[in-house]
Amino acid sequence: MGNLIKSEFRKTTTTGLWWGLMIPTVLLAFGWALGTGAIFKTVSDFMNSSDAEELASLLNVDPSQWQMSVFGIARSINVATIFPMIFGGLAIANEINRKTITTTFLTSPNRVSALGAKMIVYILWGAIFGIAIVASVSIGIALTSDAGSLPDAGGWLALAGVGVLSSILMTMFGVGVGALMTSVVGTTVVLLLYMLIVENGIQLVLASQGLPEVIGFLPNGAVNGLTGSVASSLFLSNAGVVPEDMVEALRAFAGALGAFDWWLSGLIFLVWSGLFFLGGWAATQRKDIT
């Protein structure tokens, strides 16, 4: 198995795909962090202005304690993990497309170990992408946010942890879908369409029908819940008194509407990834390589 993992890792480093996707990942993460940092800064500036102070005291809240930046961090991570997902999606689809899968199977004791080694290598890559995303987001958010709205070290660590975790899970999800679809274009289009458009539409419908709790079970809802839940609980734990009505709005703000606790969200998403991977595994296992 060690040999196969080494082989699979070499496959990823001997073509340009990893850095071809790493560059937009870092740029997108950094850009979103800069943007969201700036937006939330404007919001908190407004909340701290004399006009809003009255409102704040009326609502019995203290906006100066609000770490608005955590929402920006969560949102930026969610967007940037699209790229590791695509990277994972191409893992098996590309091999089938390039016909390198033939030699891969001819040099592996069996298909299970070949695919297993691939999964392990892509989990590693998911972590590498995750670290790059967290670093880019952290720098971006720090540049545009007030020091007061940034999370403390513990909060940052928690966000960084779920950020890397969600990147890993997104990569695994991609590997699973790619194994099932076996087409490079198909995998890329389906993953992007679903994650960026289809599920957002479903979420809107569910939210408007008063069924937001279902969102937490959907793939995108679950993975967003991972970072979003941590962000909103961080915010709530530091914000002092927050009216009940505002909690739900804050969770939506964080991209975690209807999501469960971070660990439960992660578990749900892991189940989705596992389902696709097992499906793709089963399909590849029996597939005639011609």
100 binds other proteins (CB under 8 A): yes
Q: What distance in Å separates the CA atoms of residue 246 and residue 10, rounded to the nearest whole number?
A: 50
Which residue, 49 or 102, is less far from other proteins as judged by CB? 102
Applying CB under 8 A, which part among 8-16, 155-163, 199-207, 229-237 lies near other proteins?
Answer: 8-16
245 binds other proteins (CB under 8 A): no
- Positions 270 through 289 that interact with other proteins (CB under 8 A): 286, 288-289
Please name the amino acid found at residue 11. K
Out of 25, 69, 81, 108, the only residue in the binding site for other proteins (CB under 8 A) is: 108
CB of 14 to other proteins, least distance (A): 4
Out of 15, 49, 60, 200, the only residue in the binding site for other proteins (CB under 8 A) is: 15
110 binds other proteins (CB under 8 A): yes
Applying CB under 8 A, which part among 64-72, 108-116, 213-221, 255-263 lies near other proteins?
Answer: 108-116
Out of 31, 45, 59, 105, the only residue in the binding site for other proteins (CB under 8 A) is: 105
Out of 44, 76, 78, 104, the only residue in the binding site for other proteins (CB under 8 A) is: 104
Q: What distance in Å separates the CA atoms of residue 259 and residue 198, rounded to the nearest whole number?
A: 18
Q: Of 273, 275, 1, which Cα lies nearest the Cα of 112? A: 1
Out of 57, 60, 65, 103, the only residue in the binding site for other proteins (CB under 8 A) is: 103
Q: Which two tokens stand for residue 206?
A: 């569910």
CB of 111 to other proteins, least distance (A): 8
Number of residues that bind other proteins (CB under 8 A): 26
Q: Is the Cα dihedral 189, 193, 196, 199 positive or negative?
A: negative
Out of 10, 148, 211, 282, the only residue in the binding site for other proteins (CB under 8 A) is: 10
Question: Which chain residues interact with other proteins by CB under 8 A?
Answer: 3-4, 6-7, 10-11, 14-16, 94, 98-100, 102-110, 286, 288-290
